[in-house]
Amino acid sequence: MSSNSASFEVAINAFKLSKCYQLYQHPKDRLKQFLWPHQWWGARQFYRELWALRDIDLTVKRGEVVGIVGQNGSGKSTLLQLVCGTLTPTHGEVQVNGRVAALLELGAGFNPEFSGRENVLMSAAIMGLSAAEIADRIEDIIDFSGVRDFIDQPVKTYSSGMYVRLAFSVAINVDPDILVIDEALSVGDGAFARKSFTRIMQLRDAGKTILFCSHSLFQVESLCARAIWINQGQIVLDGESAQVVSAYQAFLDQSTQNSTPAPPIAHNDAPIPDSKYALGSAHLDKVKLQVDGINTQHAVAVSGESSIMLWVAFVSDPELPCPNVAMTLQTKDGRTITSAATWEDQFTSQRTLEGSGHVCLSLDQLPLLKGEYFINVYLLCERGLHVYDSAEGIAVLQVKQTGRLQGYFSIPHQWENNNFLTHNDPNS
């Protein structure tokens, strides 16, 4: 393969990419550094260095969907900004082949005095669209944003939701070769959140290159074939997303041993307000927990004996595909120890012509061992990716047991009294 064809296959190539910030304790120290950067007796430094990234080597091929995980302050956002060109590297270089659309700080470049239309024209031009391309797409951008009635008003008069929707519409409709997403997979509420998510999925399915940075490990593993774990400005692991997510989750679980995060809030009243669906969206209506035939939201169950029924009702726009339901069990320190989802079990929820429906999840002879657990419920799109609504800590499950087994679960097992050598030694 020639070097030209090889470079065509690469969307992003970073070599020894590093970013250092100079932190000054006092404003006057910045002036001192400017006036006396070098003395005859040697260099003088009035600041301390913070390396957000150090010696990052990274190659992303065209069409790859790459997830980026790491704790706050690990350098994820710095890497994305270097790729987008909004930051310059201290050392090293990054080469980007293609038009980049970034969903970072949406609307950060808008002029509040300009109208929405003027900001669209300006932003699209900055992103590299020609005058002809802008003229061809501006009506689609305005329609997608849903703010046409206000498009010729100054954006300083917009609500925060209108502002973000217009900025997102510009970024997502410039037909990017590379899409960079920092945390926000979709923006806005209801119908617009669904529409923006669908548009991102269309870009993924069209073979666009996507960098997806998120704290949602579920979404990273679901959307991305490859993932990168960054910690303290360096790549810890780069590989198949399930492997990277598993390693990073183990790291987070280890970290929780040294902290005591606040548990989810358990609701005493399970019904969720506002049962009328929003057009283009869906949400949870009611969640009920039944333990051994008794309705409760703070249940006491017996390990290996109790039966649990989780009843979830939802309302949705009947024009949309039927949503999926998922449940997770969390420990008090925030660890997710198990989950169940309709799409994983290939279970199709039923709903009325008006869009309402419900599902029941049964757990017989509860295998959980002693402890306190929180039940979380999620309503997701037909792909099981976009979260319409969630009810975290909707119920508390207090499990008791008679024996002294340790851990979270009692797994099916069987003891035998046969001689091991008799079964395994061919010479016996």
pLDDT tens digits in sequence order for the chain, 428 residues long: 444 545 568 999 999 999 988 777 777 766 776 666 655 445 567 667 788 899 999 999 999 999 999 998 899 989 998 998 888 999 999 999 988 888 776 656 788 899 999 999 998 888 888 889 899 999 999 999 889 999 999 999 988 788 888 888 888 888 889 999 887 655 666 778 888 888 888 889 999 999 999 888 888 988 899 999 999 999 999 999 999 999 998 888 877 666 555 555 544 444 454 445 567 789 999 999 999 888 887 888 999 999 999 999 999 999 899 999 999 999 988 888 999 999 999 998 889 999 999 999 999 999 999 999 999 999 999 988 888 889 988 888 899 998 888 999 988 888 988 766 555 555 65
Residues 6+ apart with CB under 8 A from 362: 307, 308, 309, 310
The CATH number of domain 3-255 is 3.40.50.300: yes
Nearest CA to 264 out of 98, 173, 396 is that of: 396
Residue with tokens 């409709």: 173
Cβ-based burial of 331 (10 A; exposed 0-12, middle 13-18, buried ≥19): middle
Strands 178-182 and 209-213: parallel
Say which CATH topology domain 282-400 has.
Coagulation Factor XIII; Chain A, domain 1 (2.70.50)
| Domains 3-255 and 282-400 alike in fold | no
The residue ranges of every structural domain in the chain are: 3-255, 282-400
Nearest CA to 329 out of 292, 284, 361 is that of: 361
Q: Name residue 260's amino acid.
A: T
Whether 200 contacts 185, CB under 8 Å: yes
Strands 308-316 and 10-23: unpaired
* pTM for the full predicted model: 0.77
